[in-house]
Amino acid sequence: MTTEGTTRGSATVKLDSGAATTISTNATTTKSAQVVDVVQGASGPHKLVVNVLGTAGHPRIDIDAFFVLAKS
């Protein structure tokens, strides 16, 4: 989960050895508690990599929360 807004930018998100996905947290108005990406993997430990792309005028992203859901 993140806050989207006018000064927020983009990042790549990668789970384990999967392909990286680019997410944007830029928006014309501020919006809190936005789900911006969903990645899936099998049960067990994982490595999540988030790289902020940091472009001019949009140097940051905020990470408010990660949710881990288990299938039952």
Dist CA 9 CA 36 (whole Å): 12
Domain ranges across the chain: 2-52
Question: Per-residue pLDDT averaged across 22-30, rounded?
Answer: 94
Question: Per-residue pLDDT averaged across 14-32, rounded?
Answer: 93
Question: Per-residue pLDDT averaged across 27-51, rounded?
Answer: 89
Predicted model pTM: 0.81
pLDDT for res 72? 65
Token pair listed for 1 = 């989960």
pLDDT for res 14? 92
CA distances from 44 to 38, 40, 47, 70 (A): 17, 12, 10, 10
What distance lies between CA 54 and its chain's CA centroid?
Answer: 14
